[in-house]
Structures are given as C-alpha cells and as structure tokens.
Amino acid sequence: MIVEHALLHVTPARADEFESAFARARTIIASMPGFLSVTLSRGIERPSVYLLLVEWESLEDHTEGFRRSEEYQEWKQLLHHFYDPFPVVEHYAPVGSLPLQPTE
C-alpha cells in the first residue's frame, strides 16, 4: 500500500464549489483498479489548504493506471481549475518495520 499526498490550495471563496466538485470526483477515483481509500480534509490553521490522501495498492496504480486513464481526464476537468498554485503530489510508503515491542 502507498499513500498519495497533496496539499491543495483553493481560495476560500470557492470552497463550497470545490467540495461539491470533489464529491463527484471521488466517485471517479473510487472506481479505479488498485484504489483503496480517499480522504479530503480542510486546514484549521489555513482554511485555504485541503489535505488530499489517497491509498493505492501500488505506486503504479496511481502513476500509470489512473493518470493514463480516461477517468483521469474527468478528474482533471472537475478539479484542476480550483488549484492555485498547482499542487505537488508525492507518495509515501508506510513504515512497516516498527518493532512490536518498544526497544530499550
């Protein structure tokens, strides 16, 4: 499992419109192979910033499967015009080597 991470900058004047568009867009991404979950959260200190987290089975499910799909064109059309600046999207892998017992 990998986590797709982006901080989305959306002017607060367009927040309602963005959240409605996202409600549609999430049904698109949720239909993709390898999709596991998506969450959208809004900044408390910075209400103009949203945190997008998408869990995928593999990196390629996002970077190749989704980004090269027709569905991605719909996602882009729904959402990308809200972003200023355009976000940096990165991927994170859960740290799985944590010992079950605290080490002394």
Candidates 34-42, 69-77, 79-87: pick the segment binding a second copy (CB under 8 A).
34-42
Q: What is the smallest separation between the CB atom of 104 and a second copy, expressed in angstroms?
A: 9
Q: Which amino acid is at 57?
A: E
* 70 contact partners, CB below 8 Å, separation of at least 6: none
Q: What is the smallest separation between the CB atom of 62 and a second copy, expressed in angstroms?
A: 11
Give the count of residues interacting with a second copy (CB under 8 A): 34
Q: What is the smallest separation between the CB atom of 34 and a second copy, expressed in angstroms?
A: 15
Helix (H) or strand (E) holding 5: strand 2-9
Is residue 43 a contact residue for a second copy (CB under 8 A)? yes
Nearer to a second copy, 84 or 90 (CB): 90
Residue 32 DSSP class: S
Give CA separation, 63 vs 3, 34, 45, 52, in Å: 12, 11, 31, 16
Distance CA 71, CA 6 (A): 19
The residues of the shown chain that bind a second copy, judged by CB under 8 A, are: 2-3, 5, 19-20, 22-24, 26-27, 39-46, 49-51, 53, 59, 90-95, 97-99, 102-103
